[in-house]
Amino acid sequence: MTGSLAATLVRPAMALTTLPAVGAQHAAWLLLAFPAFGAIVLLLGGKRTNAWGHLLGVAMALGAFVVGVLAFVQMLGYPASQRSRDLHLYSWIPVAHFQVSIGLLLDPLSICFVLLITGVGSLIHIYAIGYMSHDPERRRFFGYLNLFITAMLLLVLSDNYVGLYAGWEGVGLASYLLIGFWQYKPSAAVAAKKAFIANRVGDVGLSLAIMAMFATFGSVSFTGVFGAVGGASHGVTTAIGLLLLLGATGKSAQLPLQSWLLDAMEGPTPVSALIHAATMVTAGVYLIVRSAPIFNLAPDARLAVAIVGAVTLLFGAIIGCAKDDIKKALAGSTMSQIGYMMLAAGLGPIGYALAIAHLLAHGFFKAGLFLGAGSIKHSMNDEVDMRRFGGLATVMKITFVTFGFAYLAIIGIPPFSGFFTKDPIIDAAYSRGGVSGALLGTAALLGAGITAFYMTRIMLMTFTGKRRWEDAAHPHEVGPVMTSPMIILAIGSLGAGGFLMISNRLINFLAPVVGTPPLSHGFFTPLSFLSLALVVVGGALAWAMYGRREVPVTAPHGNPITVAARKDLYGDAFNESVLMRPGQWLARLSVFFDNRGVDGLVNTLAATLGGTSGRMRKVQTGFVRSYALSMLVGAVLLIGALLLVRL
């Protein structure tokens, strides 16, 4: 690749001139300070904060959201080329040539995430007031939520990869604490540990990528890396891109590091909503899009991103079809929807903004789905098995309507959000051309049909048909503190996608950062009609299987595909065989070598010296006559030896 072509590919992401912060942007540090203060007070204040801790947690999240809105409004007042602001806080690691500062980068990409994290995060905080009202550790729970928000904001606001990595690890810690919040349950403790370990595998990739950046470019700041990446070889950029992808697969639950996401449902439902809609699983997508200048110069790594996304979106959708646990079915859908975002990001400049658009719309309808599931669980004595639901539409009307809006959004029915954000990804995949474009587009198209099937299955098993709940259950609508966030999210599920995509609003907003060209076609294309046709087919098939027939209370055995889907398509078995077992064998081999090799050699030498000294010690009797005899024998032997030498 010539230098001029490399510069052309990198330039769009560097077009924004990074200027000092002004006005309200000077207070951007409050985005981190508010939730960090809440976490410190609630986690160190102890039981003294029990009475008002949840209110402080909500106030800190809302405070960060207000600061984010003010920064966004001020950003809109500047020309597109002047919307990137760098707020330097202090020098963190000033060691020789390794200079790392703590700085906040406010640009169109980071502000989108700020608004999503703080906006949807605040709604989840409010919802959690009611959901966790009877938990004696509610104050600690809100402290962890604030910590989660802080870490995610640090991740998306940092102006360098080391700061991003600090937030990355903070998100991992917060997720471990929240997934295992009810640690007295063995399943929750195991799920938290599984998420932590799986993400550590991906984190190795990100850490190695950062090391490679410093070794190659002499910098870990975004401006330093992106400014120098054009002079790197194709092999280096590809290697860094693949390492970044490994990190993204861990956080965003993409193959092969996806297995932790389904078990993460052991945490309280607000945690599930926060992880799936506004924080953790979106971090990988952010990493890929933020690193667009690197992937622009590494087409092989970019293709790997698209392939991982395409395979995962089918993988997650198939899993969602066979889950009877409503939260795990929705977790499969998250895996699938993040796959769409990764697929879009792997399409290059035409797909970066599409990935972010779907991510933002997904934040509304996925949070709505999880909060709806939490509302059902809360009123059904913690029951999550959809085979024991049925008929809930008549007793939980608000939940039914809000959940229904999110359902229509995720399957892509116009005018709901998913139609405006998912269908353009399918069209862009086919626009890639060639065999790869056809395969990627077909995978995305099939995913749309499967999504309609499993989401319609969830709706039918939960809200329609015969009531299958036990006599002890008395389902009822939850209180206003829980329904209010659900209603707001339902409105977002209806209008967010169209607002973002009509007239290319978001694409034009992000173009100076990611270099995305405007879309040249409308939304009602032949592919969109084909997608809608598959959605109708998927929904009709679900109706035939679950709407017209009585849902069995116990799960039938099913065919091999169904059995495989219930076992998460053997993702755990694969990871155990490929990652865990070889690690065990290597550890056992190391222990054997240490015991029999290193320790064996040392112990043998010690035993030899000990045995020899023990035998020689017997010569020392303490009797003079013995020593005299020894001297005599020695003298005779010496004289004899001398005589033999003379002869």
- CA triple 320-326-331, angle to 5 deg: 50
Q: In this structure, what DSSP letter does residue 553 have?
A: S
Q: How far apart are CA 642 and CA 636, in angstroms?
A: 10
Please name the helix (run of DSSP H) or strand (run of DSSP E) that holds residue 464, with its range, or none.
none
pLDDT in tens, 343-382: 999 998 889 999 999 999 999 999 999 999 999 998 888 8
Q: Answer left, alpha or beta for residue 98, where phi above 0 means left and psi between -120 and 50 means alpha.
A: beta
pLDDT score for 14? 44
Percent of the chain with pLDDT over 90: 60
Mean pLDDT of all residues belonging to the chain:
88
Higher-confidence residue: 518 or 328?
Answer: 328
Q: How far apart are CA 114 and CA 85, in angstroms?
A: 14
pLDDT in tens, 397-412: 999 999 999 999 999 9
Q: Please state, in angstroms and as integers, the Cα–Cα distance from residue 343 to each residue in 310, 412, 417, 448, 487, following that order.
A: 6, 17, 18, 14, 30
- Identify the band that residue 190 occupies on the pLDDT scale cut at 50, 70 and 90: very high
pLDDT greater than 80 at residue 25: no
Answer for the pair 244, 294: CB distance below 8 angstroms, yes or no: yes
In the chain, what's the furthest Cα-to-Cα distance? Answer: 122
pLDDT score for 17? 54
Structure tokens at 77: 């007042």
Q: How far apart are CA 468 and CA 473, in angstroms?
A: 10
pLDDT greater than 50 at residue 166: yes
List CB contacts of 632: < 8 A, sequence separation 6 or more: none
- Identify the band that residue 2 occupies on the pLDDT scale cut at 50, 70 and 90: very low
539: nearest Cα among 346, 404, 442, 422: 404
pLDDT in tens, 98-111: 888 888 999 999 99
pLDDT in tens, 26-72: 788 999 999 999 999 999 998 899 999 999 999 999 999 999 999 99
Order of all β-strands in the sheet with 19-20:
19-20, 85-95, 98-106
pLDDT score for 458? 95
Percent of the chain with pLDDT over 70: 93
Range 475-504 average pLDDT: 92
pLDDT in tens, 433-450: 889 999 999 999 999 999
pLDDT in tens, 296-308: 999 999 999 999 9
pLDDT greater than 60 at residue 10: no
Q: How far apart are CA 58 and CA 33, in angstroms?
A: 14
Q: How far apart are CA 459 and CA 464, in angstroms?
A: 7
Q: CA 208 from chain center: how many Å?
A: 18
Range 547-551 average pLDDT: 76
Structure tokens at 545: 């299987």
- CA triple 451-454-456, angle to 5 deg: 100
Higher-confidence residue: 524 or 166?
Answer: 166
Range 181-189 average pLDDT: 91
Phi, psi of 574, rounded to the nearest 5 degrees: -65, -50
pLDDT in tens, 325-348: 999 999 999 999 999 999 999 998
173: nearest Cα among 212, 141, 144, 140: 144
485: nearest Cα among 385, 368, 599, 583: 368
pLDDT in tens, 82-98: 888 888 888 888 887 78
pLDDT score for 627? 79
Q: How far apart are CA 105 and CA 47, in angstroms?
A: 37
pLDDT score for 400? 96
Q: How far apart are CA 358 and CA 101, in angstroms?
A: 32
pLDDT in tens, 568-582: 788 878 777 777 788
pLDDT score for 96? 77
Answer for the pair 545, 421: CB distance below 8 angstroms, yes or no: no
pLDDT score for 170? 94
pLDDT in tens, 213-263: 999 999 999 999 999 999 999 999 999 999 999 999 999 989 888 889 999
Answer for the pair 242, 153: CB distance below 8 angstroms, yes or no: no
Q: Please state, in angstroms and as integers, the Cα–Cα distance from residue 254 to each residue in 148, 290, 319, following that order.
A: 21, 18, 13
Least confident of 128-137, 278-287, 353-362, 544-553: 544-553
- Identify the band that residue 7 occupies on the pLDDT scale cut at 50, 70 and 90: very low
Cα-Cα-Cα-Cα dihedral sign, residues 224, 230, 231, 236: positive
